[in-house]
């Protein structure tokens, strides 16, 4: 059966691979990737409308079309009730991160003049895997002095002021703009964030980059956007009753998105968009995505797949496979 071209169907994407000095090997193996570079894989951008880094539709009636082109030609259908980013882009970016080494101590600005693009970066992490005892940094210790922190944020003394959090698979950690943070070695996660790549590094562990040179830091810009009212992060976790049907558990909410974990059993269930653009990232197991009205072909889902559900799409049916079904990290663009 053939289907007409339509932007109002689920869109799968070809991922972008990012070489990083702090990258690891776990994602490469889990996703069965062949790398086009010699260095370690740090990030995969699974769904992106970031300028110059737009992902391309994989399969379906819009195969080969970029997310940028979808937004340019069919923005109202793609977004529905969701708002575009401040620069008119699709508002959410989905990526996976493999921290074979520590990421820099860093911070992101909010929307507005402190971001060079005008678009800030609020994000949320969903822990996929971790080494024993692995931690992340997210927030400052209680009582951190602005004056002392400013004097010590650019060297190893910054560690005296950072809140560390031991992580477990399934933890969700919300990281608003203005929150000092760092993903530390041994952590693999899926991230849903604003469509931005603005990062201000404070301290980079005195290491060299892939080119053998010290990586650039941005201490003055970082200190201008530190929000000292933000305490140490507290993880949230999904809660599900059974493996049957389709269950939904809230993880995080902010101005830009709501984040949920979905558990999909073999009986499956219908997921309705209610007019908002959704991103789905398969974080465990496998299954199938089906049409509610027969307007598009069913697609298999596997770990690592990311899907955009346009706001103009009524919804989809999700069905899990195997004994444990499928787990999905779902972002709802607001």
**pLDDT of 296-309, one tens digit each?**
999 999 999 999 99
Query: Which H or E element spans position 261?
Result: strand 257-264
Q: Is 237 in the active site?
A: no
- Whether residue 129 contacts residue 169, with contact meaning beta carbons closer than 8 Å, is answered with yes
Domain range annotation of the chain: 11-225, 246-333
Residue 1 has pLDDT above 80, yes or no: no
Say if residue 146's pLDDT is above 80: yes
Same fold, 11-225 and 246-333: yes
Give the residues across from 190 on adjacent strands.
Answer: 96, 126
pLDDT given at position 67? 98
CATH superfamily for 11-225 is Jelly Rolls (2.60.120.10)
Fold of 246-333: Jelly Rolls (2.60.120)
What does the pLDDT read at residue 2?
A: 65
- The string of pLDDT tens digits covering residues 162-218 is 999 999 999 999 999 999 999 999 999 999 999 999 999 999 999 988 888 889 999
Q: State how far the alpha carbon of 149 is from the alpha carbons of 140, 175, 180, 183, 199, in Å.
A: 9, 19, 11, 20, 19
> Does the pLDDT at position 293 exceed 70?
yes
In the predicted model, is pLDDT for residue 242 greater than 80?
no
Out of 201, 207, 237, 317, the active site residue is 201
- The structure's pTM equals 0.95
């Amino acid at each position: 059966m053939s289907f007409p071209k339509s932007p109002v169907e689920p869109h799968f994407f070809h991922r972008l691979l990012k070489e990083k000095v702090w990258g690891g090997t776990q994602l490469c193996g889990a996703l069965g990737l062949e790398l086009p570079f010699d260095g370690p894989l740090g990030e995969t951008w699974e769904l992106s409308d970031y300028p110059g880094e737009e992902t391309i539709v994989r399969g379906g009636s819009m195969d080969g079309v970029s997310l940028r082109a979808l937004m340019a030609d069919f923005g109202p259908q793609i977004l529905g009730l969701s708002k575009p980013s401040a620069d008119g882009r699709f508002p959410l970016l989905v990526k996976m991160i493999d921290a074979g080494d520590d990421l820099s101590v860093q911070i992101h600005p909010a929307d507005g003049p402190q971001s060079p693009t005008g678009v800030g970066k609020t994000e949320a992490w969903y822990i996929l895997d971790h080494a024993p005892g692995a931690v992340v940094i997210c927030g400052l210790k209680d009582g951190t002095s602005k004056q002392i922190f400013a004097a010590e944020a650019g060297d190893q003394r910054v560690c005296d002021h950072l809140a560390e959090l031991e992580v477990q698979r399934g933890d969700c950690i919300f990281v608003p703009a203005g929150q000092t943070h760092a993903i530390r070695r041994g952590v693999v996660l899926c991230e849903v964030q604003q469509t931005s790549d603005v990062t201000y590094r404070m301290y980079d562990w005195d290491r060299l980059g892939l080119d053998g040179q010290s990586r650039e830091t941005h201490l003055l810009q970082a200190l201008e956007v530190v929000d000292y009212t933000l305490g140490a992060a507290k993880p949230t976790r999904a809660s599900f009753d059974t493996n049957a049907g389709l269950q939904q558990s809230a993880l995080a909410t902010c101005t830009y998105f709501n984040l949920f974990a979905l558990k999909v059993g073999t009986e499956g269930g219908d997921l309705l968009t209610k007019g908002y653009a959704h991103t789905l990232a398969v974080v465990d197991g496998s299954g199938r995505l089906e049409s509610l009205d027969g307007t598009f072909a069913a697609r298999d889902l596997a770990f690592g797949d990311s899907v955009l559900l346009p706001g103009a799409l009524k919804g989809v049916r999700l069905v899990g496979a195997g004994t444990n079904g499928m787990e999905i990290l779902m972002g709802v663009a607001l």
